[in-house]
Structure formats: structure tokens, C-alpha cells
Chains A and B, each alone.
Chain A
Amino acid sequence: DAKTTQPNSMESNEEEPVHLPCNHSTISGTDYIHWYRQLPSQGPEYVIHGLTSNVNNRMASLAIAEDRKSSTLILHRATLRDAAVYYCILRYGSEKLVFGKGTKLTVNP
């Protein structure tokens, strides 16, 4: 399984944008980049996924580097509800998601 590297923790202030980085230098051409988040005492929640092009949805934006060796999850205006552990996952083929330790995001009021 292709590996990802994320910072252990990040902090942000409420209503400010947040950029969560992920390095995946060994990504293959067919690996999709997925982001999930896990709020305290809840199951993981799907955020966004992409292959090559940048993606936007109602929750976030995903910016993928041209060489695909890194990506950034962008929360445009952080709220207290966005405090969670964010997982960057590479996936190809099977449904199996391989979670790392993720980035714990703290949002300050």
C-alpha cells in the first residue's frame, strides 16, 4: 500500500482558511487520493477524493500537485466543528482504506 506522510497536528483559528498537507511521493498513476476526517467519538467521515485535477465540494477543496507527489486539503473557513483528525489515504482498486495516524486539527475560537 502506498504511504502518505502528514504532520501530527496543526492549529487554526475559527473562520480562517486551513491548509492540510499530505506527501505521497510513491504514488502510482492509478492511486486515488482520499481524505477522511474523524470527529471525537465518531466514525470517520468522507471529505473528498481526486485523481489528478483539483476538486471542490461543499466541505472542502483538494489541491493536487502536478507531479501528484503531494496534495493539500483546504478548508476555506474553519469552524469549531472542523476540529478532527484528518486522514490522507491513497487507494487503488479494492475498497480497502489504509489509514495512517492522520493530522489532528485544533480550531481555536
Chain B
Amino acid sequence: DAGVTQSPTHLIKTRGQQVTLRCSPISGHKSVSWYQQVLGQGPQFIFQYYEKEERGRGNFPDRFSARQFPNYSSELNVNALLLGDSALYLCASSLDRTGHEQYFGPGTRLTVT
């Protein structure tokens, strides 16, 4: 079975631009979460979506937004990019809301110059 897939793998953007990152969960998984991982740190929670509704939001500015589609795939959008947004963006899916076993994708490496 395919795992969690994310696209693109790498991305380079300029300050002030906007970016959209995509995630496809494991088939049958209805919950998707997004995390940001800055080099040398553990991942930080950004959003969680379950059944197309936002169920949790981390301590990130409103420049960050996300949505989940009827097929449970998800997009993370970041507006007005800052240099500090350079990070690995990870998507995780789980079967249901208990989320005891979350499966992470390989991430999208975003570089803001």
C-alpha cells in the first residue's frame, strides 16, 4: 500500500511569495495533520483536519492556512513568505480521530530566499 505522499519534494520561493503544499493520506485515513520542522528541532504542530473540518490549530500566524478535500487529501498554504518559514513541512495521516498511530510523509523542503 502507498504511504503518505507529499508534493513537491523541494521548493524554493522568494520572500513575500505564496506557496501551496499538497498531501495525500494513506487510503482510508480520514485525518490529516501538518507539522513544520526547522533544522535541528522536533516537528511543530500546525493544523489537524478530520472529515474536512479543522480540528486543531497550532501557534502559527494567519499566514498559514489549510484545507481538506472530499477525498481526504489536503493542502497547506503559506502567504507572504518570510525567511523563517524555511523548513521541512510534514504531513501525517491517521485512520480516525484517536490518532494513536500517525503515519508521516517524507515532507516538502521549503527554502525561502
Distance (Å) between the CB of B75 and the closest chain A CB?
18
Per-residue interface assignment for chain B, residues 39 to 50, with 1 indicating a CB less than 8 Å from any chain A CB and 0 otherwise: 001111100101
Q: Which residues of B contact A42 (CB under 8 A)?
A: 106
From DSSP, what is the main secondary structure of chain A's interface residues? loop
Q: Which residue of A lies closest to B6 (CB)?
A: A43
Interface size class of A (residues with CB under 8 A): 20 to 34
Q: How far is the CB of B41 from chain A (nearest CB, A)?
A: 7
Give residues of chain A (50-109) contacting chain B, Cβ–Cβ below 8 Å: 85, 87, 91, 94-102
Give Cα A98–Cα B45 distance, bound, in whole angstroms.
Answer: 7
Docked-complex contact A43 and B90, CB < 8 angstroms: yes
Q: Chain B residues near A32 (CB, 8 Å)?
A: 100
* Distance between Cα atoms of A99 and B42 in the complex (Å): 5
Contacting pair B48 A94 (CB below 8 A)? yes
**Residues in chain A near residue B41, CB distance under 8 A:** 101
Instruction: Name which of A45, A97, A100, A101 has the most chain B CB atoms within 10 A of its CB.
Output: A97
Check A46/B101 contact, CB under 8 A, given A95-B33, A95-B56. yes
Known: A87-B42, A95-B50, A97-B92. 8 other contacts (CB 8 A): A44-B104, A91-B99, A94-B55, A94-B99, A96-B45, A97-B33, A98-B45, A99-B44
Which residues of chain B have a CB within 8 Å of any CB of chain A?
4, 31, 33, 35, 41-45, 48, 50, 55-56, 58, 90, 92, 94, 97-107
